[in-house]
Amino acid sequence: MEIKDFADNIYLEDGIWFSKNNRGISYPKDGNMNCFEIEKDSFWFNHRNNCISEAVKIYSPDKTFFDIGGGNGYVAKALEENNIQTILIEPGLEGALNAKKRGLKNIICSTFEDAGVKPNSCQSIGLFDVVEHIEDDIKFLQSIHQILSNNGHVYITVPAFKFLWSNEDTDAGHFRRYTVNQLCSTLRNSGFEIVYASYIFSILPIPIFLFRTIPSFLGFNRKSNDLQKHKQEHSKNKGFISAVLDKIWNKELKAIKQKKAIAFGGSCFVIARKKDV
């Protein structure tokens, strides 16, 4: 696997590939560093990783995986630990440097457009909590369609349900939250066919609504850089609640392994395929 086989507008420096020009992204400046402080001990990041890994092992286990907008490489690292060859494409320099600290070797610090990723070159692509940051999501997914090889898969997670909108979404640079049906429709309009569509984090809409949506509606504005608060929300608590949550997460993983959909949740998880032409 040679990264230069996939992109033609990049150069190597200190173990990271860079593009010659980078465009702006709708993401907080300190977003990657805040996530880096949280990810390892976060029930949310760990369960999302487990869901993604199980799905990739089912649908494209032997394909090189491109984690586009993959932040600090937390997903990419988990995929590599599951023997999935992975290339991280992350436009934020802090994210790319953090991924290097994690031991990742295949890192492109760029958007995929600026990197010059070649048409029909990517066998599997991940967009994990990325699409909600894109104002024109259909145009973006059409460009993903162009670089994906025939019968290649795209894996997407996004935050669910407009009624759960809060100041957290605004601060994070989100343009929207989705339902599974809305995301599937957007993908079909972008040239894909749906392989699997489900919600994950089935219990989270309740605390999100109570502790984020309602306070935001009432005008209580918590700053997005409140790192200590984020750590508390994401921490793996011990005891009865932790045991209950583990059972819920295991049930969701079982559903994914059996290719069954979960009816409700805080995130959408959709896998789509580029039709052979």
CATH number reported for the structural domain that contains residue 83 in this entry: 3.40.50.150
Backbone angles phi, psi at 209, to 5 degrees: -65, -40
Mean pLDDT taken over the chain:
91
Per residue in 111-125, pLDDT tens?
999 999 999 999 999
- The pLDDT assigned to 242 comes to 82
Q: From CA 210, how far away is CA 222, in angstroms rounded? A: 14
Q: Are 111 and 130 in contact (CB under 8 A)?
A: no
Half-sphere exposure of residue 47, counting CA atoms within 13 Å on the CB side?
A: 28
Angle (nearest 5°) at CA 115 between 79 and 93: 70
Cβ-based burial of 29 (10 A; exposed 0-12, middle 13-18, buried ≥19): exposed
Antiparallel, parallel or unpaired: β 148-159 and 267-274: antiparallel
**Tokens, residue 71:** 């932040």
Q: From the DSSP assignment, how many helices (H) and strands (E) are in the chain?
A: 12, 9
- The pLDDT assigned to 20 comes to 81
Q: From CA 226, how far away is CA 233, in angstroms rounded? A: 11
- The pLDDT assigned to 220 comes to 83
- The pLDDT assigned to 277 comes to 63
**Tokens, residue 176:** 């929207």
Per residue in 179-222, pLDDT tens?
999 999 999 999 999 999 999 999 999 999 999 999 999 988 65
Q: Are 99 and 43 in contact (CB under 8 A)?
A: no
Q: From CA 163, how far away is CA 262, in angstroms rounded? A: 19
Question: What range does the domain containing 270 cover?
Answer: 3-274
How many domains would you assign to the chain?
A: 1
Give the residues of the chain that fall short of pLDDT 70. 1, 22-31, 221-240, 277
Query: 0.85 exceeded by the pTM?
Result: yes
